[in-house]
Each structure stands twice: as C-alpha cells, then as structure tokens.
Amino acid sequence: MIDWLKKGGEVAVYDATNSTRQRRQLIVEFLVDYRTFFVESDCSDPEVIEANIREVKLSSPDYINTDAELAIEDFRRRIRNYEMQYETLEVEHDRDLSFMKICNLGEKFLVNRVQGHVQSRAVYYLMNIHVLPRTIYLARHGETNMNIDGRIGGDDSLSINGQYFERALAKFVKDQKLDDLRIWTSLMKRTIQTVASIDVPKEHWKALNEIDAGACEGLTYDEIKIKFPEEYALREVDKYYYRYPGGESYQDLVARIEPVIMELESQKNVMVICHQAVARCLLAYFLDKGRDDLPYLEVPLHTVIKLTPFAYGCKIESIPLNVTAVNTHHPKPAGLTPLSPEERRIRRKTSSGGGHTAGLLREFSVDPQDTVFDNP
C-alpha cells in the first residue's frame, strides 16, 4: 500500500480491524508522512447486529459458497472474540487521532479532528448512506424530435413515440406497487413531460440537467465535425475530460451530480428520469465503472434500469418497455489509446479550459498524503 502511494496513489483504504489502541498507534507511527483517518462502526443493538449479519455479511467475499447458517454462526463467533479485546475509539483516549465513529448504522455519530477535503467528504458521505433494502429506477426521458434528428442538447418536447413511452412508464410504475416511491427529474421539458401521468411525489433537480454542450448545442455530430473539426477530434480521443466550448465535460458533470448521489444514498425507492450523460454518471457510480468506461455506457431510450444496491455491489436489471425509439448510442472508437497525463495537460493549456474537481465518483482531487482506515 505504501509503495502504491509513493507511486502516485492518492487515497488508500486499509480494511482491517485495528482492534486495540496500541495497534492503531503503530499504524499512525508507520504512516508518519501521511494523514490517517480511522472509521469505526459500533453496533450494540441486537436487532441491528442480526439484520447486519443476514443482509450484509452473508454477501461478503469471506462467505462465498458457505452455508448461510454456518456463516452466521462463524460471524457471531468473530463478534464474541472481538468483544473480549476490542478498544473502541473515544475522545477521552484518542483525542489526537482523526476518526469517525458510527453507532448502530447511523443512530449517532462521533467525529474528531477531521483534516482536509477528503476526510470531510468521507464524513459527509458516511453520514448519508444506509444499508436498508431499496430500489433505484433509472430511465432517460421519452424520445424527442431532436433525438430523431440526431441533435444534441436543447430543450425539446416529446415525439409521438416519446408520448407512448410516457404512458407505458406510468403503467410500469403502477404495476410496481411501491407506495413510498419518489420521482426525480431534471428541469428540462422532456423529463417533466415523461412523468406527467404518474401520480407520486416529484422533485425537479437542476443538477440532473443534461451535459451542457455549449457552442455545440442543437447540432448533429456531423455538423460538429464540419463546424468544429478540432473540437470533434479532441472529444473523440478524450471524451471524459473534454469540455465543449462554453459548456461542460463529463468530469464537470460528475462534480455537478454529487449532491444527487448523496441524496440517493439516503433515500428509499426513487425513480430518476434524466438524460444520457447524466444516466451514465449515475450508473458508473453504482456499478463502480471508471472514467475510461463512463462516457461509453449504453443507456437506451424507453428502457428502465432497475438498480438494487447491496453490501458488496449493485444488482442491475434492464427492462425495455417495448416502445420504438432511435438509437443515440455512440460506441467507443476502435483502437482508441487514452491520452497520457502529460498529453492531457498540454491539451488543456491550448483548449477551452481546465477541469473542475470531480466529486464522489472516484475522481477526488486530493492531497496525496490522505489515507483512510476502516475499523469495522
């Protein structure tokens, strides 16, 4: 891990018990050149412990292909062993450490000596997540006439097929019978029109608006290639970091939707009706996709993507609603070689500007000295 940090790694997560103060002090001394931040999850409620074992620990890599009852008994034995020696984090004894203590999965939090951007963002994130069962439904708006014409951006209304999708989506939601469902859309007409017939609470987020194509808004890709040939070429080789003239990059978009992701982590059942680039960012977060894959994730029109997060991943199910729509997906160019960091720095100096700090999607702009430790 230290070798990785020395070679340019930014944030290291050391997933270990670190059960005594002596052991935690050894870690601090060993990592004297790095910032350390301990995270402790302390469960004392028997009902919380039992639910956590059954809903979380059985999905652990430790228990793959293990009988459920044997796995449960083994984990209870682990807990008993830890109870005999574990020394919990306390301000009285550990005031000099940077740490966060989570009690009974969010019933109470104790935060001490938070230092730097990454530690503060980790606290914010951990205070919002929960492990309760939930479903996130993700879909793009219904087809528009601009989609049919191959034009990007804009604020167009639904096409005839888009209106058919709106009705099909309303029936789909009714068939799911989710009493606590909430719907989020962008502020753009096509997303609001898509959920017009669905009678559930709705929220409209500016953060969910489609990526801003700047000077290229309303153009087809062929028109961009003719009118802005250099911009077209730059985007082809560096789609994640490329920023439209006067517009946004995918990196900017990731930073913009961070509040949406945080709020999603704290909700129960939510349906998000958004746009292609936004949906890619949300999918990449829940499916743990990197920046090289994110801009090329396929999110077809008139399809509902059902996401069911669990402790060690996220189940995905694609549900086409059988309404005809154009295909707006542009696959990754064959043989594409990503730009090196040096090539990207040179390009940024000569193009339309530098990049925002990306957000939660594994794109933190961080101090290389930040290190995070997990105390389960």
Q: Give catalytic residues, as residue numbers.
A: 15, 43, 141, 210
Q: Tokens 């978009």 — which residue?
A: 253
Please list, residue by residue across 15-37, b when 16 or more beta carbons sit within 10 angstroms of its beta carbon and e when fewer do.
Answer: eeebbeeeebeebeeebeebbbb
| DSSP 8-state code for residue 76 | H
Closest C-alpha among 247, 248, 253 to residue 281? 253
Compute the chain's Rg from CA coordinates: 23
Closest C-alpha among 332, 328, 330 to residue 290? 332
Q: What are phi and psi of 308, to 5 degrees?
A: -125, 95
Q: What distance in Å separates the CA atoms of residue 175 and residue 304, rounded to the nearest whole number?
A: 13
Any idea how long the chain is?
376
Q: What are phi and psi of 13, to 5 degrees?
A: -110, 115
Q: What distance in Å separates the CA atoms of residue 301 and residue 257, rounded to the nearest whole number?
A: 21
Closest C-alpha among 283, 211, 270, 220 to residue 243? 211
Q: What distance in Å separates the CA atoms of residue 144 and residue 193, rounded to the nearest whole number?
A: 11
The partner residues of 185 in beta bridges, in order of sequence, read 204, 273
Amino acid at 26: L
Q: In the chain, how many H helices and how many E strands? A: 15, 11
* Cα angle for residues 313, 81, 25 (degrees, 5° grid): 80
Strand-pair category, 182-185 with 202-204: parallel
CB 278 within 8 A of CB 252: no
